[in-house]
Structure 1
């Protein structure tokens, strides 16, 4: 075995451990943001909960802001993968619209959305942070919009369809906000069922 081969084999486990550490930090950061909020979450706390030394955490993410931005971005990608995976299991026929709405709604319920809200609130009064958050949220919004159009089999060249999709996503995000303080799942189910009916009728009429 040549020295270069030994070096390569040594680097691979190190890189794997580094990636695992980074992912653990990102996932823990989201959990802390969702549970404790921006002000109470520090790199030290995230490192402690993740079982990582503070030095190792700062090696990957020198600042708290860098950690939080990476965490939101990472979890957005993870949820995107989940969305695509679950989309394959959606039913066809008359129940599909409601199933799509429930799937998209699930995208905004849970730790990721709660963590993102903490970042948004802080960014609203922090110009430098806001400049970093806006592009992330714009990309995230485009991906969810495109997924909704695809899953519902819509044609956005038809007048009004794009606006209808935008209204749908605004509705879903609003329902997610209502779930922040109390369990709003029962009302959310009723609203989504009604909106699915309205959406089907509207789109059948060609908007």
Structure 2
């Protein structure tokens, strides 16, 4: 059901996504769907949480293959940007946009986003082997995550891989300077 909910959000947006439609796509009865997720908000926030946690776990698994040394920062930035691409991210954007104007939905989405933001920040620190006690490091790591989200948004509208690659390379050099104290 959670995967079907993500697919619905990404393909048709919040306005067209219903618990009944998700149940139909998932091949479960409406009653079963409503038993597990009594509200639309509960279903879709659970779905976005599920995929966010899965993507973060995948990012951590991929971390073992990252290079050491000078190429690491760019590889980490590239990997973080990739976490804000694809169907799962498109679904999250639909949920965020709807929550901006819906206080009931926002009350579900905001705690989820705060949790996922903390987790992403913690993972970025670990991947970059960054020391937040160094002035500017915390803000630079957060800027990296903000950049990754922004690139994800831009990618929803147009294929901008070439530009994105140049921006990632430049930002990685800037970030590496902050991380190494240069």
Query: What is the Cα deviation at residue 205 of structure 1?
Result: 2.6
Secondary structure at the aligned position of 2:62 is classed as helix
Runs of 4+ in 1 over 3 A off after TM superposition: none
Q: Which is richer in helix?
A: 2
1:78 to 33, 54, 57: 54
Q: What residue number does 1:13 align with? A: none
Q: What residue number does 2:15 align with? A: 39
Alpha-carbon separation, structure 1, partners of 2:161 and 2:34: 39
Structure 2 unaligned regions, length at least 5: none
1:196 paired with 2:150, answer no
Alpha-carbon separation, structure 1, partners of 2:53 and 2:174: 31
Alpha-carbon separation, structure 2, partners of 1:169 and 1:160: 14
Q: What residue number does 1:114 align with? A: 90
TM-score by length of 2: 0.95
Query: What is the Cα deviation at residue 99 of structure 1?
Result: 0.8
Greater Rg by CA: 1
Structure 1 unaligned regions, length at least 5: 1-24
1:143 paired with 2:119, answer yes
1:184 to 142, 155, 160: 160
Q: What residue number does 1:69 align with? A: 45
1:51 paired with 2:6, answer no
TM-score by length of 1: 0.84
Q: What residue number does 1:6 align with? A: none
Q: Deviations over 1:130-172 (max 9, x none)?
A: 1221111011001111111111111101111111111111111
Alpha-carbon separation, structure 1, partners of 2:181 and 2:46: 43
For the aligned residues, what is the CA RMSD?
Answer: 1.2
Query: What is the Cα deviation at residue 119 of structure 1?
Result: 1.0
